[in-house]
Structure 1
C-alpha cells in the first residue's frame, strides 16, 4: 500500500492510499498521515487496519495534484520542531566492481593505511548484519535538520548562498512515529533526496556535519510495510528540460553492508529520539552521486529520483538562496 498527502485550499489535508499502479482514494475522516499512524501505534493495530476501519472515499488524481503543486511531504508534524531528518552513510556496497575493489582494500590493506571512511566501511562489512538478538556495529550518523528543512515533492531544494555545491543523493528513507509509550513504529519506506554539499565535505571529512545541514525531500508516497531486499531505482538531473545526467541506483539489504534493523537500532537507542508523538525520517545512504561523475549542478536543474514499487517519482528543482547578513546581538 502507498500512502500520500494532498494539501487543500482551506489548509486541511487529504490522505490518499493506493496500490502500485492503481488509482488513489481518500481515507475518510483522516486528518493526516501523522494522526493515522499515531492512532494505529497507540491502539496496537496496524495502519492498514485503521485505514480499513475508516473506509475509502472519492478517487484522487495524484498526478494532477502533483502538477498543481498540492502534494505535501507524505508525513509532516503539526510542530515542525518534532520532525527529525537524519541519516547514515557508508552503508551501501555499490556496483559489483566497486564492491570487489572495496573488499580488496579493506581486507588486504594494513589498518594504518586506511582512511577513516574506509575503516568505517570495513566495520560495516564485518559486523553490520548481526544475527538476530545480537548488536551490530554502529554506522556513521548525521543530522540534517527538523521539519522546517523537509521540502515537499515538486518544491525547490534551496542551497544556502554560502554552499559550495548542491547535489542530490538518491536514498531510501525509513518513516517512523513514536507511540505514547515511547516505542518507535515504522510506517514504511519512501524515496528520498538527501540533498548535500559534496564540495564542502570533500575539503575535510570533519566538515561532514556542515555539508549535511541542508534541506531534504522525500516521497511523494510512503510504501507501507517492509522494504524489498533488492530495490532498483533511477536518479537523473534535467537541465532546460533535457537529461543532463542519469544513472540507476540500488538499495535494500542485498546491496548494503548493514541491515535496516541495525541502522534503526543505532538511531533509536538514544532516548531523545523516542519522544512520544515525534516523527523521524531516517535516510539510509547511497552509492550513486552525480558529483562523483564531475557534474556541477546549477539553479534551475531538476532532480528526479524514483524506484520500482515506491510510487510516483520524487522531483525537485534546485534554487540558490540570496546572501544573508547574520547579526549577533547582545541582550
Structure 2
C-alpha cells in the first residue's frame, strides 16, 4: 500500500513515497525536493498511473535521506492557503449506527478549512465548554478540483474527527456546532481505492496512564450507505467547486469511547492505531 507524503526539512519542502509503518518516527526517509512542484496538478495529470506520478516526483529531483524525527510532516496535499481546503464529513454512516429511520443520504457536516487539520503530535482544539468530547477513527477521502473545479478523487488517508457528541445528544440541530473541533489526520495519502476493511484500537491516556482503551472497525464494508452514492451526491453541488481546491471527506466512525460510557477530559491524549494499514495518530486534546 504505497502512500505519498510531504514534509518540511531544513526549511524546504520535500515529497516521498513509502509504505507507512507504526514505527515511522524511527525511520530513515527517502525524500525528493518539492520546490516548484504542483503536487495537486501532478496527481490529476497522472490520473491513477503510479508510474507516471513517481516519474513526476523523482525525475530531475535527486533523492536525499533524512531521519523521520528531523522532518515536519504535513497533512496530505494541504494548500498553502488554508481557505483552499474544505474539511467535512458524514455522520451515522456505519451499519452499527444506522436504523430503520436512516435517511436515504447521510447527514453531511462542515468541520472547517484546512487549518483545522492536525498531524500526529499536534493538539486538537475543542471548545472549553464542550459537553462531552469523543474521538472518531475514520477513513478520509481526498479530492482535488480539476481545471473546471469538479472534485476528482486522488486517494485516501485516516483521521480522528473529534466531536462534542454530548452537545449533539442535547439536540440534533446542534450537530454543526458539535463538529467544530480540530481534526486529526495522517500525513500519508494512499494511492488507491478506498479500503474495504480497516481495524484498529484507540487508547486514551490521562496523567500518564491508560484511562480507556477499545477497538474499532471501519472501511467501506462497514458502511450502511453505498460510497459512490454518498460522495457523488455531495460533490455534485457546484457551490463546492473550485480549481485546485482540496476536499477532505471524513466517512464516519464505528462506536467510540463515549458509547462505552467514557468521559474525555481536557489534556487527555488520544492515540489511534489503524493496525491494518500501519498508521498511528496521537494527539493531546486542548479545550480552549
- TM-score for the superposition, normalised by structure 1: 0.77
Distance 2:127 2:192 in 1: 35
SS of the counterpart of 1:81? helix
Tell which structure's C-alpha radius of gyration is larger: 1
Matched with 2:92 is 90
* Cα contact 2:39–2:77 (8 A) shared by 1: no
Matched with 1:197 is 164
Given the alignment of the two structures, is residue 61 of structure 1 paired with residue 67 of structure 2, yes or no?
A: yes
- TM-score for the superposition, normalised by structure 2: 0.88
**Please, which moves more after superposition, 283-292 or 44-53?**
44-53
Given the alignment of the two structures, is residue 296 of structure 1 paired with residue 258 of structure 2, yes or no?
A: no
Distance 1:31 1:194 in 2: 32
Distance 1:186 1:240 in 2: 41
Distance 1:248 1:60 in 2: 33
**Please, which moves more after superposition, 16-25 or 141-150?**
16-25
The 1:157/1:320 distance shift into structure 2, 3 A limit, reads same
Given the alignment of the two structures, is residue 26 of structure 1 paired with residue 31 of structure 2, yes or no?
A: yes
Given the alignment of the two structures, is residue 163 of structure 1 paired with residue 130 of structure 2, yes or no?
A: yes
Which structure 2 segments of 5+ residues have no match?
22-26
Listed one character per residue, the Cα deviations across residues 195-239 of structure 1 (whole Å, up to 9, x for unaligned) are: 110111110111111111221121132222112211112222122
Aligned residues: 279
1:196-235 residue pairs with structure 2 within 5 A?
A: 196-235=163-202
1:1-331 residue pairs with structure 2 within 5 A?
A: 1-10=2-11, 12-21=12-21, 24-29=29-34, 35-42=38-45, 44=47, 46=49, 48-55=51-58, 57-62=63-68, 64-65=69-70, 70-94=72-96, 102=99, 106=100, 119-120=101-102, 123=103, 137-321=104-288
SS of the counterpart of 1:49? helix
Distance 2:254 2:46 in 1: 39
* Cα contact 1:40–1:47 (8 A) shared by 2: no
Distance 1:48 1:181 in 2: 25
- Between Structure 1 and Structure 2, the one with more helix by share is 1
Alignment RMSD (CA, Å): 2.3
* Cα contact 1:177–1:277 (8 A) shared by 2: yes
The 1:48/1:301 distance shift into structure 2, 3 A limit, reads farther
Distance 2:28 2:231 in 1: 32
Listed one character per residue, the Cα deviations across residues 256-280 of structure 1 (whole Å, up to 9, x for unaligned) are: 1112222211220111222111011
Which structure 1 segments of 5+ residues have no match?
107-118, 124-136, 322-331
- Between Structure 1 and Structure 2, the one with more strand by share is 2
